[in-house]
């Protein structure tokens, strides 16, 4: 986070970007990642990762992904293991922080202040000094408490101290960097006899016997989508009843008077807008006269602590970014929130007199009813629609409890019923056509469940996505079976012809290799084998024409003058390779700084290896493995089903 935040802060739009960044933290909390709440998903040394912290980190990082990939759902992220990746990262960070604290590493307030001054957006553009007003404003607008933000930075800096101590002694020998330069700059002049489909003889049409033999020899053949070609999948006809929130929202009408009442309630309870906040210093005084004297001295810039010491008063009390309800004395709170930034004054509270100086003030910002109207209407419509949907579900389930079929229950409850012709697990009908709307509506959520059921029995209502419910009945099951030759003749013919062509070219490549190994020249061999010759001079990381990365990699493992068949990885031409010349690199040709750049790159790689080794060692030291995770709390934090 530290490096990312600093990088963002360098642009002219830094303040806006920072506000957006910390807004993400505001939604889910920031603060110390490993301060724990007593519900530890994992305990790492003296640190712990709480259920709340895992949930917040997952939500924050999922939102980051969804900003660039909005179609990614929570369910897809969990299925891909993203939740466990977040947990693993938190565990590693906790391990490094635990070890740093054991070793007595700390980050001082001075170091934190220095770090904050590296963020251009927090500096006064005239003086270049840290501008506390701009700093607090950026965080305040995003509802971030500065203390929490600073604690997050402090923990990052403490971990960085340990990482720096582990890697600071890494010196890369110049000879190692020079060797890398020589390896990377070495070139090879490569020739290849290339045999592709254009070099093959015409293949006659296959007989039925040849096609049937090919089909039987390749029963698991798949198409470009990875679906079976010669075997028909299992098909299932289903009857489906769905309760979709969007269908109910369309019928909802909301009285604007109700929306206005909701708006006024939200304003009164601080649900909308930004609440007023005050940061202030308070000195209790024995009487009004003393309180006024202290207020005057505070206004003149005197230290509150010095005044308290001189007058023998209690230590000054400070509150930072407090809302009115957080000030215990309601009379004092009323007076404080009537004051502006920099004001001082004597206040008689419920418990006596005090002198108060306002250190920072942010007034409440409340959006108008008109500004909130669309959001209020959407929220109210969603609530009304949800109630209506659950009423329909209850009526439908009551009919089923009375013995009604899906058809009768749906008719009596006024719920749409859908009947689908036999479909495979990809929502394709038996004609093989793909209806993408049907696929989106069924395949990922509903069909996998349908293919786990017996025929003739309706299942209980089940939730899918975040709002909707369904039940279904499998009406017919058509088992998977081999397709007839007539059904797959075109596909089988195409695949058979490609196989025959490939076999022909493989035989020619083998023959060409034998000729080259016998000493024939490639220019002569191409006359009998067909194909064409390509030549190129390449480094290890270069490609050209038919010389792919795999082919070039193989060429750099070959001896000059020794022909070899190119190793094929999937479809592509057959090739016979010869390395004509190895062209070594010359250190004298190295440009200015090239060796130093490679030395730095090697140092970074070694540092990465050191930190990975340290991570493994720390996890072993703290005895962290799969059994260390409270799976119940983990599942709850990630929103997964908690199994008893």
**pLDDT tens digits, one per residue of 575-631:** 999 999 999 999 998 888 889 999 888 888 888 899 999 999 999 999 999 889 998
CB-facing half-sphere around the CA of 408: CA atoms within 13 A: 8
Same domain assignment for residues 328 and 200 = no
Q: What is the pLDDT of residues 283-305, one digit of tens each?
A: 999 999 999 999 999 999 899 99
The answer to whether 536 and 190 are in contact (CB under 8 A) is yes
Same domain assignment for residues 193 and 316 = no
Same domain assignment for residues 517 and 462 = no
177 lies in some domain: no
Same domain assignment for residues 469 and 503 = no
643 lies in some domain: no
- Token code pair at residue 193: 């006899």
176 lies in some domain: no
pLDDT bin (cut points 50, 70, 90) of residue 458 is very high
| Helix pair angle (109-116, 146-167), 10° resolution | 100
User: For the domain that residue 338 is a member of, what is the CATH number?
Assistant: 3.10.50.40
Same domain assignment for residues 339 and 402 = no
Residue 558, C-beta contacts closer than 8 angstroms, at least 6 positions apart: 564, 577, 579
Examine the pLDDT at 190 and tell me if it is beyond 70. yes
* Domain's final residue, options 331, 362, 393: 362
260 lies in some domain: no
Same domain assignment for residues 399 and 338 = no
The number of folded domains in the chain is 4
- Planar angle of CA 559, 560, 565, nearest 5 degrees: 70
588 lies in some domain: no
User: For the domain that residue 106 is a member of, what is the CATH number?
Assistant: 1.10.4030
Q: What is the pLDDT of residues 299-351, one digit of tens each?
A: 998 999 999 999 999 889 988 888 887 888 889 999 999 999 999 999 999 88
The answer to whether 383 and 262 are in contact (CB under 8 A) is no
- Token code pair at residue 145: 């408490």
Same domain assignment for residues 220 and 238 = no
Which of 472, 466, 434 has its CA nearest to residue 454? 472
Same domain assignment for residues 59 and 94 = yes
* Domain's final residue, options 568, 583, 598: 583
The one-character DSSP state at 637 is H
* Domain's final residue, options 552, 583, 614: 583
pLDDT score for 508: 94
Examine the pLDDT at 22 and tell me if it is beyond 80. no
Q: What percent of the chain clears pLDDT 90, i.e. is strictly above it? A: 47
The answer to whether 577 and 557 are in contact (CB under 8 A) is no
Q: Where are the alpha helices (DSSP H) in 269-355?
A: 288-299, 304-311, 330-336
> What average pLDDT does range 137-164 have in this prediction?
79
Domain span at residue 68? 2-169+606-638
Q: Where are the alpha helices (DSSP H) in 168-285?
A: 174-185, 208-217, 245-249, 256-268
DSSP β-bridge partners for residue 484: none
393 lies in some domain: yes
589 lies in some domain: no
The helix/strand/coil state of 491 is helix
316 lies in some domain: yes
Examine the pLDDT at 205 and tell me if it is beyond 50. yes
Q: What is the pLDDT of residues 355-364, one digit of tens each?
A: 999 999 988 8
Distance CA 313, CA 293 (A): 13
Same domain assignment for residues 551 and 578 = yes
Same domain assignment for residues 472 and 490 = no
Same domain assignment for residues 463 and 491 = no
Same domain assignment for residues 400 and 420 = yes
The helix/strand/coil state of 210 is helix
Strands 277-285 and 317-322 turn out to be antiparallel
- Token code pair at residue 166: 């582990």
Q: What is the pLDDT of residues 344-401, one digit of tens each?
A: 999 999 889 999 999 999 888 888 878 777 777 778 878 888 888 999 999 999 999 9
pLDDT score for 7: 38
- Token code pair at residue 120: 């251009």
């Amino acid at each position: 986070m530290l490096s990312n935040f600093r990088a963002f802060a360098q642009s002219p739009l830094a303040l806006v970007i920072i506000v957006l960044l910390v807004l993400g933290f505001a939604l889910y909390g920031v603060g110390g990642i490993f301060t724990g709440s007593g519900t530890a998903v994992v305990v790492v040394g003296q640190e712990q990762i709480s259920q709340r912290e895992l949930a917040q980190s997952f939500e924050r990082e999922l939102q980051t992904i969804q900003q660039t990939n909005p179609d990614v759902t929570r369910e897809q992220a969990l299925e891909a293991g993203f939740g466990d990746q977040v947990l693993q990262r938190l565990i590693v960070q906790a391990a490094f922080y635990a070890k740093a604290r054991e070793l007595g590493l700390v980050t001082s307030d001075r170091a934190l202040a220095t770090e904050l001054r590296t963020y251009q957006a927090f500096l006064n553009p005239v003086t270049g000094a840290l501008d506390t007003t701009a700093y607090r404003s950026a965080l305040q607008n995003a509802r971030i408490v500065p203390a929490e933000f600073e604690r997050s930075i402090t923990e990052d800096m403490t971990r960085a101290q340990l990482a720096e101590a582990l890697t600071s002694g890494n010196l890369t020998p110049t000879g190692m960097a020079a060797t890398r330069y020589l390896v990377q700059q070495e070139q090879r002049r490569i020739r290849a006899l290339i045999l592709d489909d254009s070099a093959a003889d015409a293949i006659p049409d296959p007989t039925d016997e040849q096609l049937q033999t090919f089909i039987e020899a390749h029963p698991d053949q798949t198409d470009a989508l990875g679906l079976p070609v010669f075997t028909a999948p299992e098909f299932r006809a289903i009857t489906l009843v769905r309760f979709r929130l969007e269908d109910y929202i369309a019928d909802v009408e909301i009285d604007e008077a109700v929306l206005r009442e909701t708006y006024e309630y939200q304003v009164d309870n601080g649900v909308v807008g930004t609440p007023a906040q005050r940061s202030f210093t308070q000195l209790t005084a024995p009487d009004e006269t003393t309180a006024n004297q202290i207020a005057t001295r505070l206004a003149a810039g005197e230290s509150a602590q010095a005044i308290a010491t001189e007058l023998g008063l209690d230590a000054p009390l400070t509150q930072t970014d407090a809302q009115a309800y957080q000030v215990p004395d309601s009379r004092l709170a009323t007076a404080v929130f009537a004051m502006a930034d920099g004001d001082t004054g004597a206040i008689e509270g419920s418990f006596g007199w005090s002198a108060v100086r306002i250190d920072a003030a942010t007034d409440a910002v409340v959006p108008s009813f008109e500004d909130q109207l669309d959001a209020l209407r959407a929220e109210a419509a969603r609530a009304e629609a949800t109630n209506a949907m659950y009423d329909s579900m209850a009526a439908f389930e009551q009919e089923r409890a009375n013995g009604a079929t899906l058809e009768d229950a749906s008719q009596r409850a006024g719920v749409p019923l859908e009947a689908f012709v036999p479909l495979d697990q990809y929502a394709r009908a038996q004609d093989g056509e793909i209806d993408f709307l049907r696929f989106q509506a069924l395949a990922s959520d509903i069909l996998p469940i349908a293919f786990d059921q017996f025929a003739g029995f309706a299942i209980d209502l089940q939730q899918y996505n975040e709002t909707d419910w369904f039940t279904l009945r499998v009406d017919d099951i058509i088992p998977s079976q081999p397709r007839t030759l007539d059904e797959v003749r075109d596909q089988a013919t195409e695949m058979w012809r490609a196989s025959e062509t490939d076999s022909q070219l493989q035989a020619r490549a083998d023959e060409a290799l034998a000729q080259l190994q016998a000493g024939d020249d490639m220019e002569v061999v191409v006359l009998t084998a067909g194909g064409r010759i390509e030549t190129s001079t390449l480094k290890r990381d270069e490609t050209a024409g038919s010389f792919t990365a795999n082919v070039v990699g193989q060429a750099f493992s070959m001896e000059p003058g020794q022909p070899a068949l190119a190793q094929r990885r999937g479809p592509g031409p057959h090739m016979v390779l010869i390395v004509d010349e190895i062209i070594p690199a010359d250190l004298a040709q190295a440009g200015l700084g090239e060796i130093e750049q490679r030395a730095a790159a090697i140092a970074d790689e070694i540092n990465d290896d050191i930190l990975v080794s340290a991570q493994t060692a720390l996890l072993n030291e703290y005895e962290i493995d799969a059994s260390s995770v409270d799976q119940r709390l983990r599942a709850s934090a990630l929103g997964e089903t908690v199994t008893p």
